[in-house]
Amino acid sequence: MKRLLLTLCLTTAAIAAPPLLTEISPRGAQQGKTLTLTLAGRDLPEGAKIVSTLPAIFTPLTSNMKGLPYLLELKADAAPGVYPLRVQAPNGLSNILFFTVGTFPEITEPDTPNDTIATAAPVKSTPVTINGTLKGADRDFYRISAKAAQRLVFEVEARRSGSAIDSVLELHDEKGALLARNENAPGLGVDSRLDYTFPREGNFVISIHDARFSKQDHNFYRLKIGTYAYPEAIYPLGGRHGETVEFEFTSRKSAPVKTSVKLPETGAYTTVAMPGSPSLPLLVALTDEPNIINGRLLKPGQVDRHPLKVTPGEALLLELQSRELGTSRLDALVTLYDSKTNKKLAAIGDQPPPADLFTAANVGRTQNDPTLNFTVPADTTELNITVEDLAQRGGPDYGYRLSVRKQAQEFYASASPAYLNVPRGGTMQIAVNIDRRGYDGPVHATIPNLPKGWHVEGGFIAPEILDPTGSRSTSRNAVLTVTADPDAELPAGDLKIVAEGGSLKRIATGAGAVIDVAAGTGLPDAASTDRQKPVTAPWLNLAMPAAITTPPAATLAIKQIKRTQMAEGDAFDFEWTITTKNPSLSMPTTIGVNAPGAKDLRIIDMKPTAKNAPTGTFRITTTKSTAAAIYDLVVTANLMVDGNRETIYSRAIPWVVSNNEVTN
């Protein structure tokens, strides 16, 4: 993404740990406004940089006990939306938090209690955006005055803006009677919206609470109140890079609105805003694929049929995007028929529906969109591909994107963490995950074109096979280690992780940001479990942002010292060595050992060579169930440095299992 960098004219402080943002206050503002923005967290040094796409001017103010304050001047034409903000400093790169730009005047939840109808905080005028927080079992109440036949929209911006809150809106009359309720509104994911026309003049109360009354670190919300048009669905759900696409926004409360948008040349996602609406833009998918079928099930029970000419024995890959984009409510069932005989050949998405599926108002649960690898049978020359909703629902918000490729195999790669701080002279780890879609062979991930002084090891993912016990291996993970020399150059941009297997070569996608969602009270269920997944931001289209930080307290290395062949596998003895310039540093008695993808490994006999020694040994044993492949061995150690825990990492060591005989 394009980054706006601002150097803060403050004194540099020597801080070892990378910066961490825990809060930005406020979480949003009206376009064109000037305000004080405060960053709070740990190890936020003076002399840092703000990294953001927010169209604004930042001016540093005198720091205080609450954090680092800035004068923030938003541009008048700043587009409504959610913008990432992070800090970069000599001690590394911070995580991303989000700042939201709106079009309404903004106020803050009062300091006085507003947790009952009797103590509801008055809202003096609308339109308005209220910035508030919810603490556990908290409920916030706001009193509004309305005229007869007046229409007001109440909309929550929480999860879409990087909050862990799963909001519920309830509208009451002044006696407390419930008039309307919403938990998950179409097009908003787990955020809420109420659109209400008041039958009479009087005072009313709108309340907001978390659906599970959970305690969250990121517990803010932005409650928008006004009279405005908003989209509940967008169609189509995406387009090709660089093309101009006409999008249609639909809502049950207003006429469709169309707009033409030239899509970006790169990235997997972008956002498109409904013209004239203060609502946040909606997410759409981007692709380079030439053959995408855009469809929409406008009526309940509708079944779309798409004929396709094929060749017997031909391999096909079908992929459908709908619900996972967050703007479609479709739980898709895709079925393949022989056009001549009408014989059913295959189906995807026909698993039993979740318990909440038949409640049309409940769209909180996200279900994986279906994919299928299919080989055309003999004598079949044309397929009829049908798309329908598993619960026979339909409407403008039941769109989909269907891709049918004449391709037998595919995989996609993703990487975590969301960003990487590599110590000078030290090592860090990157986890790589493979989503296999027909390709079961080995995969190797690496990082090409590293800056001078950087090194990468590991990244081997074994083939996915039936192992000697007859069960299918699940070889879908790898670990890369990245090491920076003491004089390594700073990276000029994101690191790009490339995964290769067979003839396929894929760039791993990044999470962009990760905001944890804590579990709430009550029994777990499919809907609540999915709503408690961490908040990620793949729409930022970031690969692996990286920086160099201060040297580690110590370094860790491993080497193999012995191999013993056994009847049912092999045993390997390894030695670890911790190197430090601090003679008072306490040494660990054990270390963490990881060999991703290798089945039936045992880590035994781990011990230091002497009390508080910087060296130690451990043994790894394999069995006949350890499939023949290349694996990686990586180890970690936890140290206490000045009262704080610091984790150090070894460089990955590849090793080979061949006919149950392992060599390094």
Backbone angles phi, psi at 462, to 5 degrees: -70, 160
pLDDT computed for residue 14 by the predictor: 39
CA distance 505 to 500: 4
Q: What average pLDDT does range 295-320 have in this prediction?
A: 96
CATH fold for domain 106-226: Jelly Rolls (2.60.120)
How many Cα atoms sit within 13 Å of 55 on the Cβ side? 13
In angstroms, the CA 371 to CA 437 distance is: 8
Instruction: Tell me the backbone φ, ψ of residue 443, rounded to 5 degrees.
Output: -130, 140
Query: Comparing 4-102 with 555-663, is the CATH topology the same?
Result: yes
Domain boundaries, the chain: 4-102, 106-226, 289-408, 411-548, 555-663
At 504, the pLDDT band (50, 70, 90 cuts) reads: very high
CB contact burial 559-597 (16+ within 10 A = b; e otherwise): ebeeeeeeeebbbbebebbbebeeeebebbeebebbbbb
Q: Cα 402 to the chain's mean position, in Å?
A: 23
- Residue 116 contacts residue 45 (beta carbons within 8 Å): no
Mean pLDDT of 292-320: 96
Checking if the pLDDT of 158 tops 50, the result is yes
Average pLDDT estimate for 164-174: 96
Q: Is the bond leading into 80 cis (omega within 30 degrees of zero)?
A: no
Match domain 555-663 to its CATH number in 3.30.70.1350, 3.40.50.720, 2.60.40.340, 2.30.130.10: 2.60.40.340
pLDDT at 16 over 80: no
Interval 408-416 mean pLDDT:
94
At residue 466, the pLDDT reads 77
Residue with tokens 């190197």: 579
How many CB atoms lie under 10 A from the CB of residue 249?
Answer: 27
Pairing outcome for strands 629-641 and 644-649: antiparallel
- pLDDT band with cut points at 50, 70 and 90 for residue 13: very low
Segment 365-379 mean pLDDT: 82
High-pLDDT (> 90) share of the chain, %: 76
CB 327 within 8 A of CB 399: yes
461 vs 644: CA distance, rounded Å: 34
User: To which H or E segment does residue 211 belong?
Assistant: none
- Candidates 195, 223, 185; CA nearest to 364 is 185
Q: What is the DSSP string of 369-411?
A: PPEEEEEPPTT--EEEEEEEETT---STT-EEEEEEES-S--E
Residue 331 and residue 321: Cα distance in Å, rounded? 10
**Higher pLDDT pick, 329 / 61:** 329
pLDDT, tens digit, 9 for 90 and up, residues 628-664: 788 899 999 999 988 888 999 999 998 877 765 545 5
Flag whether pLDDT at 519 surpasses 50. yes
- Rounded-to-integer distance, Cα 216 and Cα 214, Å: 6
Lowest mean pLDDT among 355-364, 464-473, 482-491, 609-618: 355-364
Label residue 521 by pLDDT band (50, 70, 90).
low
Average pLDDT over residues 378-390: 96
Cα separation of 515 and 96, whole Å? 9
- Give ∠ CA 62-64-69 in degrees, rounded to 5: 60
Could you tell me the strand order of the sheet in which 193-197 lies?
Answer: 106-108, 128-133, 220-226, 151-157, 193-197
Query: Coil, helix or strand for 661?
Result: strand
Tell me whether residue 9 is exposed, middle or buried, using C-beta atoms within 10 angstroms of its C-beta: 0 to 12, 13 to 18, 19 or more. exposed
Instruction: Place 530 in a pLDDT band, splitting at 50, 70 and 90.
Output: low
Percent of the chain with pLDDT over 70: 91
Distance of CA 16 to the CA centre of its chain: 28
Q: What is the pLDDT averaged over residues 489-517?
A: 94
Helix, strand, coil in percent for the chain, rounding step 5: 0, 50, 50
The mean per-residue pLDDT over the stretch 162-172 comes to 97
Q: Which helix (H) or strand (E) holds 157?
A: strand 151-157
Integer Cα distance of 94 and 231 in angstroms: 34
Strand ranges (E), 236-348? 238-240, 244-251, 254-262, 269-272, 282-287, 292-296, 304-309, 315-321, 332-338, 344-348
**Count of C-beta atoms within a 10 Å radius of residue 524:** 11
Q: What is the pLDDT of residue 269?
A: 96
The whole-number average pLDDT for the span 109-135 is 96
C-alpha span between 39 and 20 (Å, rounded): 10
Question: Which residues are paired to 429 by β-bridges?
Answer: 481
Of the candidate CATH numbers 2.60.40.10, 3.30.1180.20, 3.30.420.610, 3.30.428.10, the domain formed by 411-548 belongs to 2.60.40.10
Q: What's this model's pTM, rounded to 2 decimal places?
A: 0.89
- CATH fold of the domain at 289-408: Jelly Rolls (2.60.120)
Q: Average pLDDT of 587-608?
A: 91
Return the exposure string of 143-158: e unless at least 16 CB atoms fall within 10 Å of the residue's CB, then b. bbebeeebebbbbbbb
pLDDT (mean) for 27-33: 97
Would you state the structure tokens that stand for residue 532, as one six-digit string?
A: 């408690």
pLDDT tens by residue, 66-100? 889 989 999 999 999 999 999 998 899 999 999 99
For the cut 90, the answer to whether the pLDDT of residue 285 exceeds it is: yes
Residues 333 and 297: beta-carbon distance below 8 Å:
no
State the SS3 of 228-254. CCCCCEEECCEEECCCEEEEEEEECCE
Paired residues of 333 in beta bridges: 388
If you average pLDDT over every residue of the chain, what do you get?
89
Residue 300 CA to residue 306 CA, distance in Å, equals 18
Instruction: Tell whether domain 4-102 is in CATH 2.60.40.10.
Output: yes
**Pairing verdict, β 427-436 and 454-458:** unpaired
DSSP string, 465-508: -B-TTSPBP---EEEEEEEE-TTPPPPSS-B--EEEETTEEEEP
pLDDT at 1: 38
Measured between alpha carbons, how far is 365 from 324 in angstroms, rounded to an integer?
A: 10
